[in-house]
A and B are shown apart, each in its own frame.
Chain A
Amino acid sequence: MYGLGVLKGLWVTIKNFTLSYFTRKRLTTVQYPEERITLSEHARTFPILVYDESPDKLRCVACEICAKECPPKCISIVRAQDEAGKPLKQPKFFDIDYSVCMNCGICEEVCPFDSIYMDRQFELSAYERSEEFLYTKDRLAKSAEYFSKIRPETAKKVEEKRKAKEK
């Protein structure tokens, strides 16, 4: 009937209006700085380097696989050497340019030493482009506890794998 659709439309809007005061379903906005949605297990932003006991004992052995696989080539690694000039199994420099990184997570997939993982920290705005987004080794280093906190399931699997390898 002509005119019935008009009333139906009015009913829909008034229903949405009144229910928005009672149910969350009718008011889906998340007011960001105060409220946050919980991120899923595999939410990812930028890479971090995981260490076990102290920040100078990184899991990273400076194999440079991640640097070679990185599509935008944002990782640059220099291997450390001892006094005799013999290469060591740790990086001297490990820089990631966050302004170049495209968050693909390939570095995480290819790392054979479970060292590099994607972080979920996304509030990284800065006033300067070249210096503040160039993350050096000490800024990238994050503890294993931090990693197991942000991604508990992945961390558990990784721990099991590493224990099996030690045996």
Chain B
Amino acid sequence: MSEGAFKKYGKRTLVYLFLILMSIISVFPLYWCFISSCNNTQQILGGRMVPSTHLIENLKNLFAQQDVLNAFKNSVINTVLVLVLSLAICSIAGYGFEIFHDKGKDAVMAVIMMSMMVPFVAILVPLFQMFTKMGFVNKYIGYILPSLSTPFLIMLFRNNARTFPKEVLEAARVDGLSEFGIFVRMFVPMMRPTFAAAATITFMNTWNAYLWPKVVLQTPDSITMPMLVANLLSGYVVDYGVVMAGVTICTLPTVIVFFILQKSFTEAVAGAVK
């Protein structure tokens, strides 16, 4: 019996050790990046694992080299615009597809789902041409337009609209609320968790986007944080303290959102395939 117990406890211990090791590996690069923003190039390359005193110096150099405030402002504006508009457009569409569904709308939904399989890079050339012609290059609208309506968000809202009680719908209609009124006054407040989930994943995707912004934002004063950070490596001599400070500034907002809204994020990732 003691042998069995040993076998059991030994196995347990191994599982814990494995999970602890994997957790360390998962967290380490970010930890190292954050502490490296307080170190100079020599310390970073030498593998120093604790913060030193160079944070202010790195930030000073970073702000002297790059217009960080402007890029941060662009990222915030782009992200807020996409958040508000895409949630509005996709939530009402998902609601419409589910609540008023019939053969015609189901067919349209199926076609929209197909667009999920279209790789973004496959439409990059014509999209850039169209946006050049319309004068959207280097503008907020050029950045946000392709992310305003995504099949993923429409699907997320449609799947969750299934849980919207029919009785509430009927009662609101009897009370004389318009269809739009029902959506705004009944559905939106009731679906707060879904909106939180959609907002979290949209925030992450928009803040972190790189390929499309790199194509459509070509002037230095229109760039976003990820683009600014990527530029830090282009000099002859790379100051890794500055790079890590930049990466930290770019990453902190998403990491903070991750910790506050982890539950919503988890729901969003898994929610669309329910």
- The answer to whether A and B assemble together is no
Chain A residues proximal to chain B, CB less than 8 Å: none
